Chain A
Amino acid sequence: GAVVSQHPSWVICKSGTSVKIECRSLDFQATTMFWYRQFPKQSLMLMATSNEGSKATYEQGVEKDKFLINHASLTLSTLTVTSAHPEDSSFYICSRASGSSADTQYFGPGTRLTVL
């Protein structure tokens, strides 16, 4: 069964509003989770690494103030897209590393965001 869930699975919002996406680790206390973004027909791009109890680490080119990440507990990380614009429309995916193997990651099903 799924070990990482995301909510919502899809969301439509108006330009200028903020949207929060939740990512939950269902079977493991994850100190580290990852947020990816996927454009149509393109690969997943790592946006940031979410660290429980500390600030997220953002990849180069990702706006920290635009994509707010909060990892307040060992099972929940949230991504808030602030003042969303149509160019923020995308598929957002989170993951956590495997507890037994640092090599692999478990992914959530993704959240499709459409900004009108």
Chain B
Amino acid sequence: GNSVTQMEGPVTLSEEAFLTINCTYTATGYPSLFWYVQYPGEGLQLLLKATKADDKGSNKGFEATYRKETTSFHLEKGSVQVSDSAVYFCALRDSSYKLIFGSGTRLLVRP
């Protein structure tokens, strides 16, 4: 069945450091891929998405490229801020509305 695997956290970085959170998926067909972010005390919010191979999603300085050959959708940001501290979820959606999530990666950015 379809599944998403992402790196375990927590990931602790200093402000302005480079961020990578790895995400790989297993799916039949051609799923859409997403990164959701959950800030403390809030609901999950869509951060970015990509709907087909080689698409790059980007938002708020974050980027992720849909790599079909490696079945990956790694999240990157060149310079993190304290306000980026949150839990990040990689997810896929196949032919239905159903989302399948990874286990989440907590990011802590220190001043």
Contact = CB atoms under 8 A, between A and B. Distances in A.
Main secondary structure of the interface of B (DSSP, over half): strand
A43 B101 contact: yes
B60 interface: no
Interface residues of B, number: 22
A93 B89 contact: no
A4 B44 CA distance: 10
Contact of B4 (A34, A43, A104): A43
A103 B41 contact: no
A9 to B, nearest CB: 9
A43 B89 contact: yes
A102 B93 CA distance: 10
B46 to A, nearest CB: 5
B43 A4 contact: yes
- Interface size of A as a range: 20 to 34
Contacts of A105: 46, 97, 99
Contacts, number: 53
Contacts of A43: 4, 89, 101-104
B66 interface: no
Interface string B30-43: 00101010000111
B89 to A, nearest CB: 7
A44 interface: yes
B32 A103 contact: yes
B36 to A, nearest CB: 8
B44 A93 contact: yes
B28 to A, nearest CB: 17
B99 A42 contact: no
B58 interface: no
13 contacts: A2-B43, A34-B98, A43-B101, A46-B100, A93-B43, A93-B44, A95-B44, A104-B49, A105-B97, A105-B99, A106-B43, A107-B36, A108-B43
Interface of B: 4, 32, 34, 36, 41-46, 49, 51, 89, 93, 97-104
